[in-house]
Amino acid sequence: MRPAIHFTAETGWINDPHGVTFADGRYHLFHQYVPGSLVWAPNCHWGHATSADLLSWQRQGIAIAPGDGDDGIWTGSLVHDATGPRILYTSVTQPDIGIGRVRTATPADGAWNSWVKGDVVVESPADLDLLAFRDPFVVREADGWRMFIGAGTRSGDALALTYTSADLDRWEYDGVALERSTNEREPVWMGALWECPQVFEVDGRWVMVSSVWDDDVLFYAGYAVGDYADGRFTAESWGQLSFGGSYYAPSFFRDADGRPCLMFWMRGVADAEAGWSSALSVPHLLSVRDGRLAAEPHPKLAEKRGTPLNGNDLRGFGDAVVELEWDPVDDGSRLSFSADDAEVASIGSVGDALVLRRTGESDWSMPYTGGAVRVLLDGPVLEIATTDGLLGGPVAQPTAIESTGGELSAWRLDVAPAAAEELDAVTAS
């Protein structure tokens, strides 16, 4: 079964979302895309989709494809200047795909469905012994533009490098914005490479969010909260935002109201028989609470709530998208998800943790210090959000939900499924 509001490709593999932008009354979403494959490959494209509400997405096809000097079109940013929108993306070439370059692209049409490649504007610094260099995140500052790029040294330092520009065309290297050794493990380990490091302001505090990588293993999303000025980030605290083995590569954007948001790649959600692999999360709204970064489902979900579902034993919701608010009042409280009277998954309050159990899979857990637990069930995707973090991933489609030892409220969401149309020649590139 395909999820309704978690974006998937009609066929093929997807990963990192990026360039999420609200313009002219609709959202544009770009994402890593490998047509015709169920697994990642370095010849990534930029796929494109649009939405009026961040939940129901219409696929628009391939925006940028390999070729013309690029063996792969990897993650990047979309910004606006006086001339219009501009993409700055990671261009990789074989054989050393770990060290990327930053190249520009501009739209060939008003719908942003096709983009024309420009120049390579940034290459990795020659004086750093890097094993990786990629994922530009570009923001406007008072005196021009600033770029942050993820990097890792061969000695095990994760870096956010930074560049400045007055015009988006000519960039100057400005050093290291923030770094941390892979040997530092408390209060959270941040790996040997930061993929997609992004620096932004939330509730008057500065935050750096990155994806944690080590030796080709993708772990989770981590963050720092601190101060930022003149291209330098000073971390006051470190934290882990996502838990389990699904969430990765969050992409920061501001919604139509200017609110700070993240959208994640969700690994493991797939249908090999239908020919698609991976999904994107729903958008999450960010806040800083007691020095910690918190993420909760975007308010657009609450706007879609229909008639409440009654009771602690929910059945007959079919393939509807269901949102739950659960208060596990006691240690040992459980939410059970079943199909054909057999449990396929459960969420349990166990001591100071929430534990997600799925039949035939390893248990995943996250810290839990109390409060409401937001749960979203969308076909084969389950997302769990608390003030302590996010936990979610693939799940066998349940047909019944039962709460034991907790207060439960539930709603069907009135949402339209993602448009099924896809470009005719999706594998032509």
311 and 234 share a domain?
Answer: no
67: left (phi over 0), alpha (psi -120 to 50) or beta: left
- pLDDT digits 0-9 by tens, 304-335: 999 888 766 678 677 789 999 999 988 999 99
* Same domain membership, residue 407 and residue 311: yes
For residue 390, the domain's CATH number is: 2.60.120.200
160-171 pLDDT tens trace: 999 999 999 999
**Where a domain ends, among 240, 264, 286?**
240
State how many domains the chain has.
2
316 and 215 share a domain?
no
Q: Which range is least confidently modeled, 277-281, 378-382, 401-405? A: 401-405
pTM, two decimals, is: 0.95
Range of the domain at 382: 307-413
- Say if 115 falls within a structural domain: no
What is the Cα–Cα distance from 413 to 408, expressed in whole angstroms? 16
* Domain-terminating residue out of 240, 267, 283: 240
Residue 429 has pLDDT above 60, yes or no: no
What is d(CA 378, CA 297) in angstroms, rounded to the nearest whole number? 13
DSSP state string for 59-88: EEEEEE-SBTTBSEEEEEEEEEETTEEEEE
- Whether the per-residue pLDDT at 377 is higher than 50: the answer is yes
Residues 312 and 236 in one domain: no
Q: Answer yes or no: do 221 and 313 share one domain.
A: no
Residue 66 within any structural domain of the chain: no
Q: What is the pLDDT of residue 238?
A: 98
Tokens describing residue 417? 């499924």
Whether the predicted pLDDT of 358 surpasses 70: yes
CA–CA distance from 335 to each of 187, 295, 329, 346, 385 (Å)? 30, 21, 12, 5, 14
SS3 346: strand
Residues 317 and 215 in one domain: no
Mean pLDDT of 140-147: 95
The reply to whether 388 falls in a domain is yes
229 and 319 belong to one structural domain: no
Q: Is residue 202 in a domain?
A: yes
What is the pLDDT, as a whole number, of residue 420? 39
Q: What residue has token string 């199909």?
A: 339
Same structural domain, 135 and 213: yes
User: Do the beta carbons of residue 162 and residue 231 sit within 8 Å?
Assistant: yes
Q: Residue 176 sits in a domain of what CATH number?
A: 2.115.10.20
**Tens digits of per-residue pLDDT, 280-303?**
999 999 999 999 999 999 999 999
In a domain, 33, yes or no: no
Q: Is residue 275 part of a domain?
A: no
Shared-domain flag, residues 153 and 228: yes
Higher pLDDT: 425 or 242? It is 242
Q: What is the DSSP letter of 215?
A: T
Q: Which of residues 214, 240, 266 is at a domain's end?
A: 240
The verdict on residue 247 lying in a domain is no
